A = this chain, B = another copy of it.
Amino acid sequence: MASTKPIFIAVIGAGGVGKCFLSQLRDLAVRRPSPKLSLCYIATSRKALYNDDYSSINLESAIDTLASSSKTPQSLPDLVEYLTKAPGKAIIVDNTSSQDVADAYPTVLKAGVSVVTPNKKAFSGSYKLWQDIFQASAASGAKVYHESSVGAGLPVISTLKDLVETGDEVTKIEGVFSGTMSFLFNSFAPTSGGGGKWSDEVKKAKELGYTEPDPRDDLNGLDVARKLTILARLAGLPVESPTSFPVESLIPKELESCSSGDEFLEKLPAFDQQMDEKKASAGDKVLRFVGSIDVATKSVKVGLQTFEPSHPIAALKGSDNIISFYTKRYGSNALIVQGAGAGGDVTAMGVTADLIKVIGQIAQ
């Protein structure tokens, strides 16, 4: 029963994740010739590439051709109109972290175009946007998949959805949701004792490319809060926004107003003693930056906690993420997923795997 109609794919964003995704899409199109995957549109914030007859852009050379294209991106309403006229089902792959693109999902989905994305903004913004997205999807039958919005390619969203949809009762979700925070605390407060100065570890993490250009964008905890918002909502809690629950920032108050990340890093050593005191107060336990959701008490929080060295969260390595699902069926031992939760290739993997799932459902 080979599907005959092609699937039309529009890709927005061609940065780190976008480039890895295009490479995976190219291989996928070769390995699975049916249904034919037609990359009919690709755009960055400034340039675009598309064919009026919906024929596929050459996947081998898409990035180079895009760089030399003189076309500008279509507005999102225009893009939706273009895709609804395609001779087959269409999917938008949003590899940006743009709130504007996210805000358009309800319109996209209402028009019958599916969405696959690692973009956290759509699912961790206002609760109204979340409701609009899933209502639009239910009404039109268009799909929306976002595995890589939490833990990159790790099976986190899919596992939580399986637990909920099969009727398990999720009682608690707990974990380390930031590769940056994982790296920082595994180095600053290793289970074996010791560890470097806090400010040195932050500098090292930045040098290794583990932080955002301004490390405060990791240290403020908002990235973790966004991921917790998504998981809490999937578990049934109508969390209003990522700022509607307690989030502990590791940016000293005095440094919030620094004009740059460099100025912040210069002044950070003066606050090393504060972090050393926190580490010392953990005693035989170790300090970790975690997010947790207690479903029964509807409590969501992000911040420092202490763990026995033998606890899986304490024993994490490198910049790995770990996510523990406590449920009625799984009892006292959690269902645990662990591994790299950031990086272009593994993030794109989650996007590609979602794409395959959506194709399986919409192919005609």
A 50-87 contacts with B by CB, 8 A: none
**A265 lies within 8 A of chain B by Cβ:** no
A 279-319 contacts with B by CB, 8 A: 310, 312, 315, 317-318
**A24 lies within 8 A of chain B by Cβ:** yes
Q: Considering only CB atoms, which chain B residue lies closest to A345 in the complex?
A: B329
Distance (Å) between the CB of A100 and the closest chain B CB? 27
**A334 lies within 8 A of chain B by Cβ:** yes
Q: Are B329 and A334 in contact (CB under 8 A)?
A: no
Binds B, one of A10-18, A115-123, A162-170, A214-222: A162-170
Q: Considering only CB atoms, which chain B residue lies closest to A2 in the complex?
A: B141
Q: Are A349 and B162 in contact (CB under 8 A)?
A: yes
- Chain B residues within 8 Å of A333, by CB: 317-318, 320, 339-340
Q: Are A335 and B162 in contact (CB under 8 A)?
A: no
Instruction: Flag A135-168 by CB within 8 Å of B: 1 or 0 each.
Output: 0000111000000000001110011001101111
Distance (Å) between the CB of A204 and the closest chain B CB? 18
Q: Are A336 and B335 in contact (CB under 8 A)?
A: no
Binds B, one of A40-48, A126-134, A353-361: A353-361
Q: Are B349 and A340 in contact (CB under 8 A)?
A: no
Known: A153-B162, A338-B338, A339-B335. A167 touches B24 (CB 8 A): yes
Cα distance, A140 to B330, chains bound together (Å): 36
Known: A333-B318, A338-B338. A356 touches B154 (CB 8 A): no
Question: Interface on chain A toward B: helix, strand, loop, or mixed SS?
Answer: mixed
Q: Are A155 and B166 in contact (CB under 8 A)?
A: no
Known: A333-B339, A335-B340, A361-B360. A349 touches B166 (CB 8 A): yes
- Chain B residues within 8 Å of A353, by CB: 162, 165-166
Distance (Å) between the CB of A130 and the closest chain B CB? 19
**A31 lies within 8 A of chain B by Cβ:** yes
Q: Considering only CB atoms, which chain B residue lies closest to A147 in the complex?
A: B162
- Chain B residues within 8 Å of A1, by CB: 139-141
- Chain B residues within 8 Å of A158, by CB: 155, 158
- Chain B residues within 8 Å of A349, by CB: 162-163, 166, 168, 329
Q: Are B31 and A167 in contact (CB under 8 A)?
A: yes
Cα distance, A97 to B31, chains bound together (Å): 33
Question: Can you spell out 6 A-B residue pairs with CB atoms less than 8 angstroms apart?
Answer: A154-B335, A155-B162, A166-B349, A331-B340, A335-B340, A337-B338
Q: A residues near B, CB below 8 A? A: 1, 24, 27-28, 31, 139-141, 153-155, 158-159, 162-163, 165-168, 310, 312, 315, 317-318, 320, 329-331, 333-340, 343, 345-346, 348-349, 352-353, 356, 360-361
Q: Kindly list 13 other residue pairs between chains A and B, CB separation below 8 angstroms, not including A162-B353, A333-B339, A336-B339.
A: A1-B141, A24-B166, A27-B167, A154-B335, A165-B353, A166-B352, A310-B315, A312-B312, A330-B340, A331-B340, A334-B339, A337-B338, A360-B360
The 10 A-B residue pairs with the shortest CB-CB distance, nearest first, are A1-B141, A335-B339, A162-B353, A166-B352, A336-B338, A155-B155, A27-B167, A329-B345, A166-B349, A360-B361
